[in-house]
Amino acid sequence: MFDDGNLVSFAGLVPVMALAEDAGLSELIAERVAINPATRVRSAGVNPAGKLTSIIAGMAAGADSIDDLDVIRSGGMPRLFGQVYACSTMGQFLREFTHGHCAQLSSVLRAHLVALVRRTGCLPGIEARCFLDIDSLLRPVYGYQKQGASYGHTKISSRQVLRKGLSPLATVISTERAAPMIAAMRLRAGKAGSGKGAASMVTEAIATARAAGACGQILVRGDSAYGGRAVIRAAVKAGVTFSLGLAKNPAVNRAIAAIAEDAWVPVRYPGSVTDPDTGQLISDAEVAEVEYTAFAGTKDAVTARLIVRRVRDRAKDDELFPAYRYHPFFTNSTEPAPQADITHRQHAIVETTFADLIDGPLAHMPSGRFGANNAWSILAGITHNLLRAAGTLTSQRHAVARGSTLRRQIIAIPARLARPQRKPTLHLPSHWPWAEQWKALWANVFGVTTTPVSGPPRPA
């Protein structure tokens, strides 16, 4: 029978949401987000702090739709948390969001990330060097009720296809020792070009990284969709290093053709294998560099290094002369060409963030209104950062774990709520495999240890 009001299904939300409050989440929302007056339902815009934190708690518990947010109202959850709202109320609230309200919520994401970094140290090494990676994805939608849904290009099984959907654009911050954190999130129409709005997001992310403690090198990375004039101009203006792919055009092709054959050197990628007979790398990737002026003849002309990676085209093994595929990128870093290529290709770390989001809140775009889906995407970014910070306080392994792992091991832990001697106590399962790590999270958030309450033994 579903009749016990003292059972809690997500006890891990207690330290996680306490961490969010320690970082000032409710205060930031109350200070920066104002929906007044509401245009559709008069009461929908009231108390944005309580409603947005309820949505974030639901996302942290695994909700990927508005109806799923009701998980925070089951059993003893309303006794643990205040201002727990019904999913219909939170849906009404999200539908009030406009572009301006989403901009307010984006500022909350950036400020809360800075507070989490200071509170938990979830970006170790940011003082020396950090990476800003920008990329987009296409989330498929169905039906005719989704505002902004349109056909855009995406890759499925290494093939370019047209698919109807909405396109979130994200910028993440990572270091050599830390998993990526989301610095900015923005939803666009499915047909939007990958680089649309990228320059302003890069500028915001650079400011966020510096506010979080980045006082050394900041490297902006992206693929050829972001190697345009606007993004490079934003990086140069901010005084940071960039490593961006370039689309091949006649000028780039001429620069590649001018590289001498003896300038190509092999690249030793992490995990590469050496042939025991010849002593050479089995990988045939090689790199070379040449000085190149991008956007020549314009006010945005930039002279830096064009580093080109080439690999044998194995689809043409019977050619008379070797055939290569060339992958150029443009950078003003000072690393040797082979190391610069390795660093540039590590831009793929942003895909791990997208995998986490798709396996969590962004499994669906839950509303028919574009503003609501934009706000949902930004809240998914706040939730991602919160889980990463909580993992940092749990253990070294959890600091780099996937979001699904964090939800399963430290959030979706059942408990029974009791009040011996009028002291609220959570009784957690015995022999929980990650009990020690969960206690470490509790102690790091609250500054106290989890000691059992004294009293008579419980009957068998």
Digitized pLDDT (tens) for each residue of the chain, 460 residues in all: 888 888 999 999 999 999 999 999 999 999 999 988 777 777 788 899 999 999 999 999 999 999 999 999 988 898 889 889 999 999 999 999 999 999 999 999 999 999 999 999 999 999 999 999 999 999 999 888 889 999 988 877 778 888 999 999 999 999 999 999 999 999 999 999 888 999 999 999 999 999 999 999 999 999 999 999 999 999 999 999 999 999 999 999 999 999 999 999 988 877 666 656 656 655 678 999 999 999 998 999 999 999 999 987 766 666 667 778 899 999 999 999 999 999 999 999 999 999 999 999 999 999 999 999 999 999 999 999 999 999 999 999 999 999 999 999 999 999 999 988 888 889 999 999 999 999 999 999 998 765 444 333 333 3
How far is Cα 149 from Cα 167, in angstroms, rounded to an integer?
Answer: 9
Which pLDDT score is estimated for 158? 73
Residue 412 burial (C-beta neighbours within 10 Å; 0-12, 13-18, 19+): middle
Helix axes 99-120, 13-22, angle to 10 degrees: 100
How far is Cα 10 from Cα 62, in angstroms, rounded to an integer?
Answer: 10
How far is Cα 141 from Cα 164, in angstroms, rounded to an integer?
Answer: 6
Cis ω before 276 (30° cut-off from 0): no
How far is Cα 10 from Cα 14, in angstroms, rounded to an integer?
Answer: 8
Which among 165, 178, 233 is positioned nearest to 200, based on CA atoms?
233
Angle at 394 between CA 358 and CA 63, to 5 degrees: 30
Report the number of secondary-structure helices (H) and strands (E) in the chain. 15, 14
Strand pairing class (265-266; 286-294):
antiparallel
How far is Cα 393 from Cα 122, in angstroms, rounded to an integer?
Answer: 8
Which pLDDT score is estimated for 319? 63
Element holding 344 (H helix, E strand): helix 337-345
Token readout for 56 is: 């974030």
How far is Cα 389 from Cα 116, in angstroms, rounded to an integer?
Answer: 7
Helix spans in 243-289 (H): 250-257
Which pLDDT score is estimated for 274? 64
Token readout for 82 is: 């205040």
Angle at 62 between CA 60 and CA 65, to 5 degrees: 110
Contact 23, 112 (CB under 8 A): yes
- Secondary-structure percent of the chain, ordered helix, strand, coil, rounded to 5: 40, 20, 40
Which pLDDT score is estimated for 424? 84
Which pLDDT score is estimated for 294? 93
Which pLDDT score is estimated for 458? 37
Contact 37, 29 (CB under 8 A): no
The owner of tokens 């509170």 is 119
Q: Tell me, what DSSP letter sits at residue 284?
A: -
Q: Tell me, what DSSP letter sits at residue 282?
A: S
Question: Could you write out the DSSP letters of every residue in 241-252?
Answer: EEEEE----HHH
Which pLDDT score is estimated for 41? 78
Give the start-end residues of each E strand in 332-431. Answer: 415-418, 425-427
Contact 159, 95 (CB under 8 A): no
